[in-house]
Amino acid sequence: MSKPAPKRKARNRNRGVLAYQQLHTLVHDGVIAAKTPIAAGQYQPASLDLRLGDTAYRMLSSFLPEQSPVEQKLVVQDLFRSDMVMYELDLRKSAVLEKGHVYLIPLMEELALPRTLAAKTNPKSTTGRLDVFARTITDSYARFDEIRPGYRGRLYLEVVPRSFSIRISAGMCLNQLRVVSGQPTVGDSELRTRHKADPLLYGDHAPLPGKDLTLDDGLFLRINLKADGGVIGFRAKKNSQVLDLSRIGDYDPTDFWEVIPQNRNETLLLEPEDFYILMSKERIRIPPEYAAEMVAYEAACGELRTHYAGFFDPGFGYGDGGLRGTPIVLEVRAHDVPFLIHDGQTFFKVLFERMHARPEKVYGQGIGSSYQFQGLTLSKHFKPYRG
């Protein structure tokens, strides 16, 4: 039986990630709005899924609109008198986004944040596992995926399929929005105390001993290159067919992925710019009082990206308190040079954030969560790999 969570200090009560029921209130009050009503299925324990609008623009390049509205940048000409927009795609009928190309898609949802609230976005887990680079831009701001306090305006999603060309349509959700009051990050000392009372990490069969926790402005986890079934990961194939995101549980994994078997040295050589699906050695638990986010780059762990989709909702690997954690599936791409990793190597970092309120619904099958009991799992578009 889990011990009660340590009581939060009074100064923490007005800061944190807004919960499921608070997101409903923001929509009711018009802080988050859309011409097409927001559906019940878009609400998650600590985030809101965002929907693609009717049009996708094929862009010459990526950009950030630091000093102008996004739509003004779309008509700026380059040195050859060409617009940033090469052509448009009608997503009402579905369309194919080709891998390696940059697309900009206005989202259905708009924001009218008060100055007390900021927001951030991240790809959904399914988006990240398909190696689809998706990040949000807003008017007159020089950062991706961050939405400044008091922002009023539209949201735009930059989409770059990296490994596979994908078919999408209006209304699909590729990313998610998290609304934040103040600075919600949980410090290392609080994480260590919480782990003693209610474990955050499990090893093979038991909570990870406190002395084995690695904390440094967040919680570090290790890579798993040892598997009972002999498969430690998947690598995206080159020149695969178009992947239709409306087809769930329909694709044979081997049509798109190479299976990576365990080797006797329990190592793996990551080739530059290849895309891998791997798994953490530890199993993580996110209590309902917390949300979490993976750091995409941690320079001390290697010149590589370990995750595209970094948000973890309250209740992930935790449920009603009886679960013993869930492994984290990693979306890995090495840069510049080949990089050799070994089983148990410290590989990535997770930041914990306190919730502004305990969510009325937590991550789990009851709200359609796809990955609560995952092992080494591809996106939901694929049939389970049977070997």
User: Could you give the domains of the chain?
Assistant: 11-181 (2.70.40.10), 188-367 (2.70.40.10)
Instruction: Determine contact, residues 58/103, Cβ cutoff 8 Å.
Output: yes
pLDDT number for residue 299: 60
Buried b (16+ CB within 10 A) or exposed e, 278-307: bbbbbbbbbbbbbbbbbbbebeebbebbbb
Q: Is 179 helix (H, G, I), strand (E, B) or coil?
A: strand
User: Which tokens hold the place of 66?
Assistant: 């630091």
pLDDT number for residue 2: 52
Q: In degrees, to the nearest 5, what angle opens at C-alpha 209 toward C-alphas 204 and 211?
A: 135
Distance CA 383, CA 94 (A): 23
pLDDT number for residue 10: 45
Can you give the pLDDT of all 387 residues of the chain as single tens digits? 455 555 544 455 689 999 999 999 999 999 999 999 999 999 999 999 999 999 999 999 999 998 899 998 887 666 665 678 999 999 999 999 999 999 999 999 999 999 999 999 999 999 999 999 999 999 999 999 999 999 999 999 999 999 999 999 999 999 999 999 999 999 999 999 999 999 999 998 899 999 999 999 999 999 999 987 789 999 999 877 999 999 999 999 999 999 999 999 999 999 999 999 999 999 999 999 999 999 876 565 666 787 776 899 999 999 888 889 999 999 999 888 999 999 999 999 999 999 999 999 998 755 555 544 468 999 999 999 987
For the entire predicted model, the pTM comes to: 0.91
Provide Rg for the chain, Cα atoms: 21
Distance CA 62, CA 71 (A): 14
Distance CA 209, CA 191 (A): 13
